[in-house]
Structure 1
Amino acid sequence: MTDMITGQVPAALITAPGSGQGKSIVTAALARLHRNAGRKVRVFKHGPDYLDPMVLEVASGQPVYQLHPWMTGEDECRWRLAEAARDADLVLVEGAMGLFDGDPSSADLAALAGLPVLPVIDARGMAQTFGAVALGLASFRPNVQIHEVIANRIGSPRHGEMLADSLPDGIDLLGAIPRDEAMAIPDRHLGLVQASEIADLDRQLDAAAAVLAKAGLDRLPATVSLSAHRPAAPEQTLAGVRIAIARDAAFAFIYRANIDLLEALGAELVYFSPLADAALPNADALWLPGGYPELHAATLAANTGLLSTIREFHRAGKPILAECGGLMACAEALVDKAGDRHSMLGLLPGTAVMESRLQGLGLQSLRADEGELRGHTYHHSRLDTELPPLARTRKLAGTEAEPVFHVGSLTATYFHGYFPSAPALVTALFRGQPLSAY
């Protein structure tokens, strides 16, 4: 039996009745507000998401990990929260979509971990109905604790008073946030833009934190006790394997937990930029993660030196894993939203074409004899190819299962895997061992 770890810390899961209510910027601003007060703040994100965690890391100054009872597993959810509770002064979890949306939902995570829930409710155009919404959220499930709510985008101090007066007994208004430019972060089709793309993000977060402080949100949430068993260390099945990882503005969708696992398995990691580097670093395996290659297709196509070294890497039979944006880069060509065609690596027969509508969405898994790799899919492009897939993922929810292609030493798919869910399968991928996927 592994060690039991326990910690006590003020904590809350920040949620909303639905998407678009402002919970992402409120979570980030709360993290920055308490960080500026000298507290160590740990923030987590419920569910598969790359973009919100980038902003939350800048806001808190600490690493951000995913928590999801299905994708990461219940035990890992408890363990990461308990670890954070041991040395943090505040733990925040940003929910996904609405509180009860999805399976498992943010409410499921809160109930699993024993976290109090703090809804952010967009109060524009709303008066006494605000209290009804809060009461509905609080009474929908008896194992979900809601004792405070946040009103967002109020029109005046009098509006905030009306909202507070509308709340039933047992539910208080933590604060009422006025409409303010500091509380708006630009977005793109996947949600927020990448943190590196937002000019003066630190300044905006400080301004947003000041808005929250003025609205009375500088008070800590309730203290909770969090405990879990520490997981056993994995075997070093990738010892001696050097993995080159693409990481820049075009390829940035990388879970911290994936990096942690590769290192725990004994791999040596080296990073490079497909946008800026002229050659691939010396490595035994290559990972091309997701991102926004369509926004940088002309630059990628023009970097012929790097493209040549990756093609040579493939000809040498060294394993390559390409996920989503990485798959697009491996195609013969990429057609961007403007309809312009750009030559890509040509390792995968076919053309990646950007579409205006979502092409893939939902939780999925890849099953093989080595285990079940859990994760998700979310993309606005399609791959036009006649190549038959090696296998297909299985969907838990959302659109159709994703094909998994295998060409020589290349494994390519739109599916994003959460590596800790299947260490043996991940080892096989980066060691170039044949998968018996099904």
Structure 2
Amino acid sequence: MRLFALRDYRHLFGAQVIALFGTGLTTVALGLLAYDLAGPRAGIVLSTALTIKMVLYVVIAPLAAAYVDRLPRRTLLVVLDVVRGAVVLALPLISEVWHVYVLIGLLQAASATFTPTFQAVIPDLVTDESAYTRALSASQVASTMESLLSPVLAAVALTFMSFDRLFLGTSAGFLVSAVLVLSTRIPDARPSSHTRAWDRATSGIRAFLGTPRLRGIMALNLVVAAAGSIVVVNTVNHVRDGLGGSQSDVAWMLAASGGGTLLAALVLPRVLDRVAARTVMTTGAGVLVVATTAAAALVATGLTTWTGTAIVWTVIGIGMALIITPTGKVLRASVPRNAIPGTFAAQFSLSHLAWLITYPLAGRLGGEGNLTVTWSVLAALAGVGAVSALLLWPRHDGRGTVTTLSAPARHAPRADRATLTEAA
């Protein structure tokens, strides 16, 4: 089956790509807005805004998974896109730091409902197993392209316009995404096998706790968050204050990390055909531990340069891709089909719980001006996550043998049970 021959998937993928690029522009613009409002304390403002985002993601995603199967999904996705576009349009109009927190709260509440719902739609549109695997890969490629090209587009735009105009591009992206979603025929969700809302909200988390490979992914989430927080939270102050760079330089440094992610994403599909997901993902964890340790060492010795920072940022991007790209395939292979929405929602929530730990650390410690301590702490957390993943995810589980199934998986129908033995 040719994936992009499916009209509804093609339109939905286009909506995802456009919304992703809008979100990428917001990431760059939000950092610069924080610097404009708070100066040297921009890291604290940015980390607080991102902490609000993480809290809402952790809390709202499981609740959304519990109730969206009772709502028309196409209408819900369109409404959420419109809400996000309106909120982003208001961001350049604010003048106080607390305004940032309120608007970011509204924006991320909508996103915390949108993303798990969107992810759960794909298996219903793409029913062929091999095509679904390609759909997961396409989604990750879109994300990596966004992480590379959005900062580049922002850097080009910032050479002839102020950063607040970037928010206009983001808002337009969300509205175009809404139009594309509206043009698709999205089926309503399959009813959950759980009748109680609490059971529906927690079913995915129970699957994580009951499956060894998913417990390993929980630990790998911490590695990704520790390394990623250095890039997301500390880049603006490191480049502007430490290296004396401009607004455009911030965007270019973020693009270095995106370039590493794209490089790994282009190579990984062939690698994953021959190498177990566990090997690829734990290798990525090792790469991130080395990269974060190198970042701390560079600032501790005073040897930080443009070239050194760009290299470390690129390696961080590579390591993150090695972990994130295979995750969807591992999730799909670990649970029965009717449990996929809850499992994706649980991963969405649990991964952001890790960011909820690391974002405040990066912002509060970095806001004190001591990046050596900040990045040393984050490197230590990455190390803890990497070691935990090796211990929690048994080596013999690398090719897809589930050593412990969650309760829903044990009682899965025969057709769904077969998916549990797919290669992770």
Regarding TM over 0.5, the answer is: no
Normalising by structure 1, what TM-score? Answer: 0.26
Structure number with greater CO (CA < 8 Å, separation at least 6) is 2
Higher helix share: 2
Higher strand share: 1
Asked which structure has the greater CA Rg, the reply is 1
Normalising by structure 2, what TM-score? Answer: 0.27
